[in-house]
Amino acid sequence: MGIISRLFNLFRANANDMLDKAEDPEKMLRQMISDLEVQKQKAKKQMTEALALQKRLERDTEKEHKEAEKWEQKAILAVQNEKDDLAKEALTRKKEFTIRAADYEKQLEMHRNNADALRSSYQTLEDKIDKIKRKKGILSVKQKQAEAQENIYQTMEGLGDTSGTMETIARIEEKVENMQTRAEAYQEISMESDKDSLESKFEELEHDSSDMELELLELKKRAALPAPDEESDKKE
């Protein structure tokens, strides 16, 4: 299993655990992107190391081929100078470098395949991160819309059940009306009381005035009568 595949499996396991515990989808997506960015940096480092190793293998392979060619030219030179023993030694060295070059080529071919797979997986990882970022923007808008809609429904639900509120208002109205009725009753009683008091005063005044008039008339009558001694003298 490649490094990118292992990273994806690890990411899936962590993402599923986050999803089970998530309360804020937008926050969860931010965390997912952050985790993937970390994994991408690790993959990029490994890809860089793989490319460096590939270049080193390419240089080593080329070096071995050049050495093999060099010893081949030496073998030709030895043959031209009828130095068969030297030619054989040169061919032996050429064979050694050719074998080593072939071994490097095998390693290089295998490493190129791995590096190509790593680059492809790295590109796939980048594409997935970009896709998640785009989805994050869309899901963020949807989340805000859902939250707003939920708040509206909750508000409407609260407004829909107003029986308790209306009952409270009715009791308050009844209490205010009772207070107003009592105040009006107190006002009427006070006015009646003031009226009775005023009428009593006038009745008392009228009674006193009547008594005074009677007494005054009585005095006038008495003043008009002659004194008793004067009546006796007149008779004699």
Cβ-based burial of 229 (10 A; exposed 0-12, middle 13-18, buried ≥19): exposed
Identify whether residues 55 and 171 lie together within a single domain.
no
The number of beta carbons lying within 10 Å of the beta carbon of residue 104 is: 20
Identify whether residues 123 and 173 lie together within a single domain.
no
Q: How many domains does one find in the chain?
A: 2
Identify whether residues 154 and 183 lie together within a single domain.
no
Domain for residue 73, yes or no? Answer: yes
Query: Last residue of some domain: 161, 183, 208?
Result: 161
Domain for residue 230, yes or no? Answer: no
d(CA 199, CA 205): 10
Identify whether residues 16 and 131 lie together within a single domain.
yes
Q: Are 42 and 7 in contact (CB under 8 A)?
A: yes
pTM of the model: 0.47
Identify whether residues 218 and 141 lie together within a single domain.
no
Identify whether residues 98 and 195 lie together within a single domain.
no
Question: Per residue of the chain (236 residues), what is the pLDDT tens digit?
Answer: 455 555 555 555 555 554 555 567 778 888 888 888 888 898 889 888 988 999 999 999 999 999 999 999 999 999 999 999 999 999 999 999 999 999 999 999 999 998 888 888 888 888 988 888 888 787 777 777 777 777 777 776 666 555 666 677 778 888 888 888 877 777 777 666 665 666 666 666 666 666 667 777 777 777 775 544 544 454 54
d(CA 215, CA 207): 12
Identify whether residues 157 and 170 lie together within a single domain.
no
Give the domain range for residue 53. Answer: 3-161
SS (HEC) of 181-199:
HHHHHHHHHHHHHHHHHHH
Identify whether residues 7 and 40 lie together within a single domain.
yes
Identify whether residues 125 and 183 lie together within a single domain.
no
Identify whether residues 102 and 170 lie together within a single domain.
no
Domain for residue 208, yes or no? Answer: yes
